[in-house]
Amino acid sequence: MGKRVRSMTNAIEIRQLHKTYVDKKGVQKIALKGIDLDIPRGSFFGLLGPNGAGKSTMINIMAGLVLRTSGSVSICGYDIEKDMRRARLALGVVPQELILDTFFTVREALDIHAGYYGVPKAQRRTQEIIDAMGLSDKADVHSRRLSGGMRRRLLVAKALVHSPAVLILDEPTAGVDVELRTQLWDYVKMLNKNGTTVLLTTHYLEEAEELCDTIAVINHGQVVARDSKDNLMRSFDSKQLVITPQTTLSAPPEALGRWSAQMDQYKLVLSYQPSKTSLQEILDSVRDAGVLIGDLTTREASLEDVFLHLTNEKVA
129-158 b/e with 16+ CB inside 10 Å = b? bbebbbbeebeeebbeebeebbbbbbbbbb
Query: For residue 16, what pLDDT is reported?
Result: 97
Q: Residue 171, Cβ neighbours under 10 Å: how many? A: 18
3-state secondary structure of 13: strand
Query: For residue 238, what pLDDT is reported?
Result: 83
pLDDT confidence tier of residue 108, bands split at 50, 70 and 90 = very high
Classified by CATH at the fold level, domain 237-300 comes out as Alpha-Beta Plaits (3.30.70)
Please give the CATH superfamily to which domain 10-233 belongs: P-loop containing nucleotide triphosphate hydrolases (3.40.50.300)
- Res. 2: pLDDT tops 50: no
- Res. 270: pLDDT tops 50: yes
- Residues counted in the chain: 316
pLDDT confidence tier of residue 315, bands split at 50, 70 and 90 = very low
Query: For residue 8, what pLDDT is reported?
Result: 64
Query: For residue 227, what pLDDT is reported?
Result: 93
DSSP string, 190-246: HHHHTT-EEEEE-S-HHHHHHH-SEEEEEETTEEEEEEEHHHHHHTS--EEEEEEES
Q: What contacts 308, CB < 8 A, 6 or more positions away? A: 314, 315
CB 117 within 8 A of CB 152: no
Average pLDDT, the chain: 90
Q: What contacts 271, CB < 8 A, 6 or more positions away? A: 238, 239, 240, 259, 260
- What pLDDT, in 10s, does the model give residues 114-136? 999 999 999 999 999 999 888 99
- What pLDDT, in 10s, does the model give residues 218-244? 999 999 999 999 888 887 778 889 999
* Total-model pTM: 0.81
Q: Residue ranges per domain, the chain?
A: 10-233, 237-300
Helix 148-159 to helix 178-193 angle (10° resolution) is 10
The 222-228 sheet, strands edge to edge: 91-94, 166-170, 197-201, 44-48, 214-219, 222-228
CB 37 within 8 A of CB 227: no
3-state secondary structure of 277: coil
**CA 230/CA 236 separation, integer angstroms:** 10
DSSP string, 20-86: EEE-TT--EEEEEEEEEEEEETT-EEEEE--TTSSHHHHHHHHTTSS--SEEEEEETTEETTTTHHH
